[in-house]
């Protein structure tokens, strides 16, 4: 790896890279490195307004492609809404006089249905991490949409719970692909100033899908036959053709093209993603030069791009962080809100009211993400994620305590706290998670790192899918609101992890993050450490340039 110089001054570090090894490799000359430095400096100086003007096309394509998450959010969550759906329970459940509907779905089948898509998602993620690097994200996503079209038939015409579980497994394969590709695309097509907002937008799309599923399921309640639960499955076909066309016309990720050595195509796609009125031809070439430089910098650290490389050297730490970040979405206790209908019904709220409150719960994904955009302007990723976890931990302990009261008033308070809990989640760690996993992973291993992080989520989701239904089911553990104590403790432990291991990535270019990890900078010093990734003082501020000059 190219030599790095760590300079300690004024209570902070400056990490400076020597680019001699990159120059010796012949992949870049001194002029190209200088061009890359100019692009990096220009990106750091760019204001949010400038980024918006120059990258309107990139914003459009990123948001359009993230629409796949609307479909995934709808598809993945719709099955859990059926656990309180009268027609579905009458068709597949067992008689349970103590419940609001008179029927209940056994906890083992709830676990199987909830975990089916997670199991399929793990398969899809493994395939995607390999296929997206080899064939490109556009082709992989198009194949996933075609395959999903056929798998939806299994859900619509299922005549047994076993067939429904099989349908969830098969559908989970393309769903796993969509999550990884959209997050990676959002993190690669826009400059630093827009990166956080567009990756957080993924959470909003997920929320729109969940809210739509809640509305469709509630609208289907008056139907008195099997079409009441089949109709929400049928609507999944609506998304396929529009998304396929969006993917077909969307520009390729320039970062992926650079990794393939297709430099001219990368420049062409940078032009498609930017406005010629604000971005000159020289700036396009400089931007691609910066991508090439970052790619070569990472090649010096780790040559390969296999899954094994994610667990070697400095990438082991980066993989651990992104995996834990995604897993902590569930360890935060948010899964209680995800089981909102059953949770509220078991707390004594009637069917119609529970479905209405569930829609309010799910609306928090949209409202919360919009709030997060404001918060991201003032606070860093580490601050938002850690603060969100600590607040959720406190609220979950309160919910758990109210579980011992058991009055009508306490039940309503629990319902209100669940809505507040979901709002806090979607204002902080929910959307920030996607920003973190998009920024912390190295560019060469991004597809595989995001796939591994999502796998960590899916494995955690399988565990939660086993224990949460049992916690809430009157036929099993019957903890009800008391389960808040368990998840409050889980969120508290996750908060401690963030304080020790989660670094701040706001405002950092990918090359700067590479050097910070290469130098093994502690998580709590990422924000204060200055970085010059070009060894030419282009990547540091003027005050640091003066300090470096004195030290030299």
Euclidean distance between CA atoms 472 and 335, whole angstroms: 11
CB-based burial label for 350 (10 Å; 0-12, 13-18, 19+): exposed
C-alpha span between 81 and 77 (Å, rounded)? 7
Q: According to the model, what pLDDT value does residue 128 have?
A: 87
Query: From CA 304, how far away is CA 259, in angstroms rounded?
Result: 12
CATH 3.40.50.880 fits 55-250+302-502, yes or no: no
Q: Where in the chain is the domain with CATH 1.20.1250.20?
A: 55-250+302-502
Low-confidence ranges of the chain (pLDDT < 50): 1-11, 537-552
CA distances for 46 relative to 54, 193, 277, angstroms: 10, 8, 15
Give the pLDDT of residue 4. 43
pTM of the model: 0.84
- Two tokens, residue 366: 């949209």
Q: 312 φ, ψ to 5°?
A: -120, 150
Cβ burial of 241 (10 Å; 0-12, 13-18, 19+) is exposed
Question: Quick check: 409 and 416 in contact, CB under 8 A?
Answer: no
| Residue 142 structure tokens | 């198009």
Kindly give the residue spans of alpha helices, DSSP state H, lying in 56-98. 56-65, 68-81, 86-92
Residue 543: per-residue pLDDT: 44
Burial class of 63 by CB neighbour count within 10 A (0 to 12, 13 to 18, 19+): middle
CA-based angle 344:105:418, to the nearest 5? 20
Q: What pLDDT sits at residue 538?
A: 42
Give me the residue label for tokens 């080899």: 134
* 538 close to 37: Cβ distance less than 8 angstroms: yes
- Tens digits of per-residue pLDDT, 150-191? 999 998 888 888 999 999 899 989 988 887 888 889 889 989
């Amino acid at each position: 790896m190219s030599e790095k110089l760590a300079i300690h001054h004024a209570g902070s570090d400056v990490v400076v890279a020597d680019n001699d090894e990159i120059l010796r490799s012949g992949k870049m000359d001194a002029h190209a490195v200088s061009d890359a430095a100019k692009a990096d400096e220009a990106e750091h100086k760019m204001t949010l307004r400038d980024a918006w003007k120059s990258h309107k096309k990139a914003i459009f394509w990123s948001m359009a492609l993230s629409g796949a998450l609307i479909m995934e959010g709808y598809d993945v969550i719709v099955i859990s809404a059926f656990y309180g759906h009268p027609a579905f329970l009458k068709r597949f459940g067992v008689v349970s006089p103590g419940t609001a509907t008179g029927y209940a779905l056994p906890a083992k089948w709830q676990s199987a249905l909830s975990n089916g898509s997670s199991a399929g998602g793990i398969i899809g993620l493994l395939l995607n991490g390999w296929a997206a690097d080899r064939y490109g994200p556009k082709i992989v996503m198009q194949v996933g949409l075609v395959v999903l079209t056929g798998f939806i038939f299994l859900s619509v015409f299922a005549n047994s719970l076993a067939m429904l579980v099989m349908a969830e497994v098969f559908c989970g394969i393309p769903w796993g692909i969509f999550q990884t590709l959209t997050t990676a695309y959002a993190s690669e097509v826009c400059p630093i100033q827009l990166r956080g907002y567009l990756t957080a937008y993924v959470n909003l799309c997920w929320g729109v899908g969940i809210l739509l599923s809640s509305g469709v399921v509630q609208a289907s309640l008056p139907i008195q036959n099997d079409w009441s639960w089949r109709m929400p499955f049928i609507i999944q076909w609506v998304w396929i053709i529009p998304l396929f066309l969006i993917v077909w016309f969307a520009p390729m990720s320039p970062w992926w093209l650079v990794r393939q050595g297709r430099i001219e195509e990368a420049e062409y796609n940078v032009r498609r993603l930017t406005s010629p009125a604000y971005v000159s031809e020289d700036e396009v070439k400089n931007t691609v030069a910066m991508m090439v430089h970052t790619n070569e910098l990472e090649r010096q650290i780790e040559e390969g791009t296999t899954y094994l490389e994610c667990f070697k050297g400095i990438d082991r730490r980066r993989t651990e962080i992104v995996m834990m970040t995604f897993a902590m979405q569930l360890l935060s206790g948010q899964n209680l809100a995800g089981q909102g209908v059953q949770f509220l019904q078991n707390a004594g709220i009637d069917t119609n009211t529970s479905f209405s409150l569930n829609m309010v719960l799910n609306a928090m994904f949209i409202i919360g993400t919009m709030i997060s955009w404001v918060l991201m302007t003032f606070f860093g990723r580490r601050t938002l994620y850690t603060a969100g976890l600590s607040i959720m931990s406190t609220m979950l302990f309160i919910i758990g305590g109210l579980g011992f009261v058991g009055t009508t008033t306490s039940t309503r308070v629990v319902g209100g706290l669940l809505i507040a809990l979901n709002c806090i989640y979607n204002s902080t760690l929910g959307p920030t998670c996607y920003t973190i996993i998009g920024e912390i992973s190295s560019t060469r291993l991004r597809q595989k790192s995001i796939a591994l992080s999502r796998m960590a989520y899916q494995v955690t989701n399988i565990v939660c899918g086993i224990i949460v239904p049992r916690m809430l089911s009157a036929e099993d553990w019957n903890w009800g609101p008391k389960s808040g104590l368990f998840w409050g403790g889980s969120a508290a432990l996750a908060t401690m992890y963030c304080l020790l291991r989660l670094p701040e990535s706001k405002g950092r270019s990918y090359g700067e993050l590479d050097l910070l990890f290469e130098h093994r900078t502690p998580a709590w010093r990422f924000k204060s450490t200055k970085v010059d990734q070009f060894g030419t003082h282009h990547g540091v501020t003027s005050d640091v340039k003066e300090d470096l000059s004195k030290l030299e």
